[in-house]
Structure 1
Amino acid sequence: MDLTFVSFHQINITKSLLIALCCFLTYHLLLIITQRWTKIKVTCPDRPARLRNGEDVMSLVDRCCQSLKEGFKSSWWLPNGHAQTIYSAMADFSKDDQITYQRQLLRVPDGGTIGLDIYPPLSVNLPSNAPVILINHGLTGGSHESYVRNMVVWLTKPVSEGGLGGRAAVVNFRGCASTPLTSPHLYSTGSTIDLHTSVLYLSTLFPFAPMFGVGFSLGAAVMTRYLGEQGDRCRLRAGVVLCCPLDMRVVTYGLDSPHPLTRIYSLSMADKILRSISPHLIPSSPLSHPTSHLHIHLPEIMSLTKSVWRRATLKASKMLELVACTVGGGSDLFPFDTLDGFLSWSCPGNWIGAIKRPTLAISALDDPIVSSACLPYKAIRRSTHCVLATVSQGGHLGWFEGPPFGKDKHKRWHVKPTIEFFQGILDLPCNMSSPTKDTGRRVGDWTWVGDVGWMVLDEMDEKGWSGNEEGENNERQREGQAIVPV
């Protein structure tokens, strides 16, 4: 064998690999650079409805949302969707947006408990017409999440400081953020009763206040469905939905891709679901009771918690099949026979055409979890009140635009169009001289608005809920629950 020939052959292969790698890196570098200058695409209804001042929702967005015209330029050190998403999930935000919520627990007729975290507290007096904004968190999250705290801080800042001058209320879904789990079912993209009850409760406290809704990821899906279900009767004057999985099937089955990074996202989401329900699987828990639909899956779920190998190969679709399909709501439709049946029923995109309140959806085209393939452009065009803004960069719940160091390091872009949109709605003519209708009737300890009722439980100590991960862990320790990072 000619050793010289072998040596030259190896060198040629190495050179070819290096050239291919350089071409790959150059292509992606050029793609990242060009994306920074890509304009935000706004998709609007073909036949939009008229608002109170005679303009349509697209005209309002064009007039008020200057940040959509200016575009979004991601932090140079977080140049793509993967970087933005991973940083949002793993960076230390404990020193950012430190606030103390007032927690209000509501018991509902099905036995469930909703955790409302309100800021500023109810003891702080604001003008009677100061807006109230309800916020839905993402999967297994809560008011402690950095993206939620950041939105709360900005929405409650005075108008003179760039805020909305309002009061925020984070709807912690059942079992999330140390909210006690007292019902045999959880929450999902198809269950809106917790949000609806929270809206009615706050409308009785602030009858003169205009109300808005903001949703992140899974919470955005709940918000979208709620706006559609309520239609013309909706008490929210407008909504903003961020990184919304408008097509649940595309998102869920897309996460089953063998791509290494996609596999990590799927595993992370599955692990979040598993860890969030694990503390609630004790014998006295409603989920463990023989009457719970989840009871038949308990052996398999418990085996997942004990097997390192099975957890390492777990997929988000599998956990949705075990949990969301069976206890993702209190409807008579549960449990669903198949995952596909559940995803079709719970798909928020089905409700876009029924929305009758101005709604702004913002999504990133490089979102590795809620991909651009799930964005229903046709449904938006056929709607009357929905506008979709697609941004080339931002990832999933990222949209960081600050420098790598300094006080603006964690500056997030999406708060700007959110505040601009809501401020535009507030500027529309509206008769706020009379309180909201059906302010509630009392029956013992219960308050009812129509067929929706709640009982206010004893308030938790304000000082015990700091709105960050450390505060959440302190609450869990006080309640005797296991500390499970989310």
Structure 2
Amino acid sequence: MVPANATSSPSDSLRLEIVGAGRSLVHRLPSLNRPYKPFPVIGWNCHTETIFAAFFRALPDVRYRRECLRTRDDGAVALDWVCGDDREIPAASPVLILLPGLTGGSGDTYVRHMLVKARSKRWRVVVFNSRGCADSPVTTPRVLVDRWFSLFLSCGLHELLFDMQFYSASFTEDLRHVVKHVGTRYPGSRLYTVGWSLGANILVRYLAEESHNCALSGAVSLCNPFDLVLADENFHKGFNVVYNRSLARALQKIFKKHALLFVDMGGEYNIQAAANPRSIREFDEGLTRVSFGFKSVDEYYINASSSRSIAHVHTPLLCIQAANDPFAPGRGIPRKDIEENPYCLLIVTPEGGHLGWVAGDEAPFGAPWTDPVVMEFLEHLESGSIENPSPFQANSAGQSPDILHQFESIMS
């Protein structure tokens, strides 16, 4: 039974919370000029909305062609391009890289809906499937070793329970490799990225690490947990305990499937705990934090949290969160840093659950409410880039110091 305290009434305020320097941009995004109306009943409870979106949202029919990309450490990621794009999409069209929750992939409903929306605008789209996800090959222990938030925060409920792999809440090198590869393949196109959940956490960390040298012209973060310590605490409360226990059992099955990769590991590793976890935290204590040299699980979570990175982002970034997201609690959103960063815009919807947002013209079975907002934001950036040459180019040491002024003029 879904807990009553997770439920809001239809009479609750449905105003959006908007934070950041891009607030003046809102009037240019038509979807934000209409009230947020969650679908009746489904959209009034965060757990109902989360579960409904995971199990009952329609799955668009998309045909992919796969490109396997080797990483520097001899790992592998899979890039799924849409069949026919080379013939149908102009060579100079903008390219949108989709970064699912890291146990998700190109088969997920929320990914496909965003893809369909972008292609309808004549954008080229590629889905970045992380190691072990969407049938990507597992070739190194790294894919298994850094994991838990990639499990629950990164995908819809059905992927969480039945199609889980492992990856890192902090590892950005693969994304860096993919962005460089795509940029080399389409040198005349501007690159943009949309990330969900843990994928959003990875994306924000990447943007901050690249800072003024980022090759992306814009990015969108959706359902980002931001503060993984707070998210972990939230994971042990109320109805979320059910998710935690289910994931611990699923982790047990997946770990045992790949246990041979860890047979010879000694030191502080507790392979027995990782193979029989009663909670996600127990798994991280036994395996993850040791693998990356952290003294505790909390130290690992703190270091992996993108809330620590947002102040260093110098690429136009839209963050969309749901106030009632059961996995990404609102108190973890770095509002102050977003407010003070002229490159960032935050929108918090009153409802939405986790990867739900069952609202808008296509509710309840169609695309989430966020998709039109995301495309309006990205199209605005792309049109601004054309009108004002190079304001969102990858920064370089010799770049003009007035880039910030150029960005602010486009956002206003």
CA distance in 2, matches of 1:379, 1:402: 29
Gap change, CA 1:272 and 1:146, over 3 Å in 2: farther
Gap change, CA 1:28 and 1:322, over 3 Å in 2: closer
The answer on whether the counterparts of 1:140 and 1:273 sit within 8 Å (CA) in structure 2 is no
Larger deviation, residues 266-275 vs 344-353: 266-275
Larger deviation, residues 119-128 vs 74-83: 119-128
Q: Does 1:185 align with 2:142?
A: yes
The one-character-per-residue Cα deviations of 1:12-38 (angstroms, maximum 9, x if unpaired) are xxxxxxxxxxxx97x987x42123x42
Listed as ranges, the matches of 1:191-270 within 5 Å are 191-257=171-237, 259=238, 261-270=239-248
1:175 corresponds in structure 2 to 132
2:347 corresponds in structure 1 to 389
SS of match in other structure, 2:181:
helix
SS of match in other structure, 1:236:
coil
The answer on whether the counterparts of 1:106 and 1:113 sit within 8 Å (CA) in structure 2 is yes
CA distance in 2, matches of 1:176, 1:216: 14
Listed as ranges, the matches of 1:397-408 within 5 Å are 397-401=355-359
Residue identity opposite 1:204 in structure 2: T
CA distance in 1, matches of 2:32, 2:119: 22
SS of match in other structure, 2:229:
helix
1:58 corresponds in structure 2 to 23
SS of match in other structure, 2:10:
helix
Gap change, CA 1:414 and 1:202, over 3 Å in 2: same
Query: Which among 300, 321, 333 is matched to residue 342 of structure 1?
Result: 300
1:67 corresponds in structure 2 to 31
Gap change, CA 1:128 and 1:201, over 3 Å in 2: same
Query: Which among 38, 42, 49 is matched to residue 84 of structure 1?
Result: 49
Q: Does 1:41 align with 2:17?
A: yes
Residue identity opposite 1:112 in structure 2: G
CA distance in 1, matches of 2:355, 2:308: 23
1:479 corresponds in structure 2 to none
SS of match in other structure, 1:362:
strand
The answer on whether the counterparts of 2:23 and 2:345 sit within 8 Å (CA) in structure 1 is yes
Gap change, CA 1:153 and 1:201, over 3 Å in 2: same
Greater radius of gyration (CA): 1
Gap change, CA 1:28 and 1:142, over 3 Å in 2: closer
Residue identity opposite 2:245 in structure 1: L
1:118 corresponds in structure 2 to 81
1:290 corresponds in structure 2 to 264
CA RMSD of aligned residues (A): 2.8
Q: Percent identity?
A: 27
Larger deviation, residues 207-216 vs 119-128: 119-128
1:21 corresponds in structure 2 to none
SS of match in other structure, 2:217:
strand
Task: Measure how far apart 1:273 and its partner are.
Answer: 4.1
The answer on whether the counterparts of 1:247 and 1:349 sit within 8 Å (CA) in structure 2 is yes
CA distance in 1, matches of 2:183, 2:138: 25
The answer on whether the counterparts of 1:191 and 1:222 sit within 8 Å (CA) in structure 2 is yes
The one-character-per-residue Cα deviations of 1:225-260 (angstroms, maximum 9, x if unpaired) are 111111111111111111101111110122122x1x
Query: Which among 316, 320, 327 is matched to residue 362 of structure 1?
Result: 320
CA distance in 2, matches of 1:194, 1:81: 32
Gap change, CA 1:272 and 1:376, over 3 Å in 2: farther
1:319 corresponds in structure 2 to 283
The answer on whether the counterparts of 1:353 and 1:384 sit within 8 Å (CA) in structure 2 is no
Residue identity opposite 1:152 in structure 2: L
The answer on whether the counterparts of 2:289 and 2:300 sit within 8 Å (CA) in structure 1 is yes
1:455 corresponds in structure 2 to none
Gap change, CA 1:67 and 1:424, over 3 Å in 2: same
Query: Which among 352, 358, 371 is matched to residue 415 of structure 1?
Result: 371
Q: TM-score with structure 1 length normalisation? A: 0.69
The answer on whether the counterparts of 1:265 and 1:369 sit within 8 Å (CA) in structure 2 is no
Unaligned runs of 5+ in 1: 1-23, 46-56, 160-164, 305-309, 328-333, 439-486
Unaligned runs of 5+ in 2: 144-166, 397-412
Task: Measure how far apart 1:100 and its partner are.
Answer: 1.5
Task: Measure how far apart 1:423 and its partner are.
Answer: 0.7
Residue identity opposite 1:179 in structure 2: S
The one-character-per-residue Cα deviations of 1:168-217 (angstroms, maximum 9, x if unpaired) are 11111111121111122123121111111110000011011111111110
Residue identity opposite 2:130 in structure 1: F
Residue identity opposite 2:31 in structure 1: S
CA distance in 2, matches of 1:63, 1:407: 23
Task: Measure how far apart 1:339 and its partner are.
Answer: 0.5
2:90 corresponds in structure 1 to 127
Aligned length, in residue pairs: 366
1:481 corresponds in structure 2 to none
CA distance in 2, matches of 1:437, 1:388: 23
Task: Measure how far apart 1:92 and its partner are.
Answer: 4.0
Task: Measure how far apart 1:350 and its partner are.
Answer: 0.8
Task: Measure how far apart 1:337 and its partner are.
Answer: 1.9
The answer on whether the counterparts of 1:137 and 1:217 sit within 8 Å (CA) in structure 2 is yes
The answer on whether the counterparts of 1:228 and 1:355 sit within 8 Å (CA) in structure 2 is yes
CA distance in 2, matches of 1:75, 1:407: 6
Residue identity opposite 2:302 in structure 1: S
CA distance in 1, matches of 2:76, 2:123: 25
Gap change, CA 1:263 and 1:73, over 3 Å in 2: same
Gap change, CA 1:189 and 1:71, over 3 Å in 2: farther
CA distance in 1, matches of 2:209, 2:355: 25
CA distance in 2, matches of 1:407, 1:413: 8
CA distance in 2, matches of 1:278, 1:121: 40
CA distance in 2, matches of 1:278, 1:117: 28
SS of match in other structure, 2:68:
strand
Gap change, CA 1:109 and 1:391, over 3 Å in 2: same
CA distance in 2, matches of 1:121, 1:372: 41
CA distance in 2, matches of 1:209, 1:236: 10
Listed as ranges, the matches of 1:430-445 within 5 Å are 430-431=388-389
